[in-house]
A and B are shown apart, each in its own frame.
Chain A
């Protein structure tokens, strides 16, 4: 390791040691993407390739973030300046995710605002049994809003140094998140239409599907935070990992609100 711990280190920045994880991640992306495309075209090897690619991807991410935790919590290399850089960086990442979802909302509104004559020039297209927004989707809205409140409770508990309250609040958040995923999976299983059912099916499942993936990612992030908090990694003044998870969770919640209002409510009957 380079000379870090004595007064020769004059700058506050963290110049990371060489790491194999970036290139490992790019190598893992190849079977993931190629396997994904093959699987979509129902070629048998696709599933295996996609699965092994995803496995390599997830393992590399685990190793990479494990190293970040070692460098920050265990080696103390995250000075105030590095912390600030992470805050800006993560906010910019969330901004890029917002742009990602804007694309799918654009696609939805493009078709829903000017419905094609082939589907009856109405939206939703004639013949489709669309979900009742005031059933499970509304329950999911309340669940996510509640989980947004509980993650904020957890944050305040962390500030106050109430470690047990923080663990409880995080547990509530995670249970609510899992409940959302379960309910949404049930909706997917019981839906009377599929992704192949015209433009309605495509926009519905791509938008809500990507949202679901982000909820799963956010849930895993929160679970990691709960484990790290249990291990004592977070202090009242330095807990950026938790803050990043909370920001991501609020972003997921806001996307759902837009989905509910646009696709389920306005886009329904």
Chain B
């Protein structure tokens, strides 16, 4: 049974987390009332993993060891900032497609796409949302 108490406000006061999630104690863990994406983010962080995509980082891509860019779909927009230190240049944007390596026109860095998701066109299949 939820604890009751009377504060200065004169309100009967049940423990808020119980009010929201129901009186069953086993529903409440250390993530509290977090739900949906917020909860997924916290659960991934607890497991030491990242929930969201982050900008790819890695050593300068060459023909022997290209820079691997992970993508959920079969193509992704990528920006090349150049090499380390003085080899930096203004970001050059391009579309990197599956099975097609791309060479930066300024610094020659080589990129290759690695599909880690369902593939297909970016944004998912059209006409099937909702």
Contact = CB atoms under 8 A, between A and B. Distances in A.
A233 to B, nearest CB: 7
A243 interface: no
Given A12-B41, A77-B36, A78-B38, A233 B20 contact: yes
B47 interface: no
Interface of A is mostly: loop
Interface residues of A, number: 38
A81 B45 CA distance: 14
A76 B36 contact: yes
Q: Top 5 A-B pairs ranked by shortest CB distance?
A: A76-B36, A232-B16, A232-B20, A171-B9, A76-B35
A118 interface: no
A1 B18 CA distance: 28
A73 interface: yes
A235 B11 contact: no
Contact of B36 (A4, A167, A226): A4
A163 to B, nearest CB: 5
Given A172-B8, A231-B19, A232-B21, A10 B53 contact: yes
Given A3-B129, A232-B19, A167 B13 contact: yes
A235 B34 contact: yes
Interface in B91-123: 117-118
11 contacts: A5-B36, A12-B52, A73-B33, A76-B39, A163-B13, A164-B7, A167-B13, A170-B9, A171-B7, A232-B21, A233-B16
Interface of B: 5, 7-9, 11, 13, 15-21, 32-41, 51-53, 72, 117-118, 124, 129-130
Contacts, number: 94
A175 B72 CA distance: 54
B38 A164 contact: no
Interface of B is mostly: loop
B9 A10 contact: no
Contacts of B17: 163, 232, 235
Given A3-B124, A232-B21, A163 B16 contact: yes
B9 A235 contact: no
Contacts of B8: 168, 171-172, 175
Contact of B16 (A78, A79, A230, A238): A230
A264 interface: no
Contacts of A236: 32
Interface in A144-186: 163-164, 167-168, 170-172, 175
Contacts of A5: 36-37, 40
Interface in A36-83: 73-81
A260 interface: no
Contacts of B15: 163, 232
A5 B36 CA distance: 6
